[in-house]
């Protein structure tokens, strides 16, 4: 009900349409602070999402399952590689993937390697996207998680799809990780700058 009151303007929608209209899967990459509204965006669709393996993330996994998403459990420090392999298998069956680019523990706005690894293994493009809001609550968490206030205006920015070569060497993985980080942060500044906000 809260999100239904929000007014959303989308930019770069052609990038989303290009991938969503294709029968092939893709990987949606976004920052952790934006997870609440992002899960609303993909509710009820054929998505698989990675959720932290920590015990306190169990309720998050169950909540996403109720929204119709399949979840795999893992993080950089625990079970991450296993979770990425599970996502790879599910994407081979046609599932789209949602992955938090800065992981479950941060640092905030710094891309972890998971999305790059997954793109290299599956051949699926990465769709970076970021949203900002003119009115919101920010939680006192490591990512300053954001919840839009009722009747907030949101600006949602989709970036150009990013393709990663198969069998990526570890030396090249860092270059693609930095490239995705740059794209997401460019979108971040556009989305929040839309409302004259430098940093949420």
Q: Where are the domains of the chain?
A: 3-193
Instruction: State the chain's mean pLDDT as an integer.
Output: 90
Q: Does position 184 have pLDDT exceeding 90, yes or no?
A: yes
What are the tens digits of pLDDT across the range 28-46? 999 999 999 998 887 666 8
* Dihedrals phi, psi of 21, to nearest 5 degrees: -80, -10
Q: Does position 127 have pLDDT exceeding 90, yes or no?
A: yes
What are the tens digits of pLDDT across the range 55-114? 666 767 777 777 777 888 776 666 677 888 899 999 999 999 999 999 888 899 999 999
CB of 147 closer than 8 Å to CB of 136: yes
The reply to whether omega before 107 is within 30° of 0 (cis) is: yes
Identify the pLDDT of residue 25.
94
What are the tens digits of pLDDT across the range 42-59? 766 689 888 776 666 676
CATH code 3.40.50.1440 for 3-193: no
Q: What percent of the chain has pLDDT over 70?
A: 92
């Amino acid at each position: 009900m809260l999100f239904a009151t929000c007014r959303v303007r989308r930019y770069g929608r052609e990038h989303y349409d290009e991938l969503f209209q294709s029968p092939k899967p893709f990987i949606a990459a976004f920052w952790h602070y934006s997870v609440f509204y992002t899960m609303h965006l993909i509710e009820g669709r054929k998505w698989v999402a990675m959720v932290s393996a920590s015990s306190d993330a169990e309720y998050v996994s169950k909540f996403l399952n109720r929204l119709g998403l399949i979840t795999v459990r893992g993080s950089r420090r625990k079970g991450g590689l296993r979770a990425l392999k599970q996502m790879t298998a599910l994407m081979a069956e046609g599932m789209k993937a949602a992955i938090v680019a800065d992981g479950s523990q941060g640092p905030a706005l710094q891309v972890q390697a998971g999305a790059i690894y997954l793109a290299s293994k599956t051949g699926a493009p990465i769709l970076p996207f970021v949203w900002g809001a003119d009115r919101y609550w920010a939680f006192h968490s490591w990512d300053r998680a954001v919840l839009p206030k009722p009747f907030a205006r949101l600006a949602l920015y989709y970036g150009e799809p990013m393709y990663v070569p198969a069998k990526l060497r570890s030396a090249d993985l860092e270059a693609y990780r930095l490239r995705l980080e740059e794209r997401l942060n460019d979108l971040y500044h556009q989305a929040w700058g839309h409302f004259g906000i430098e940093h949420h």
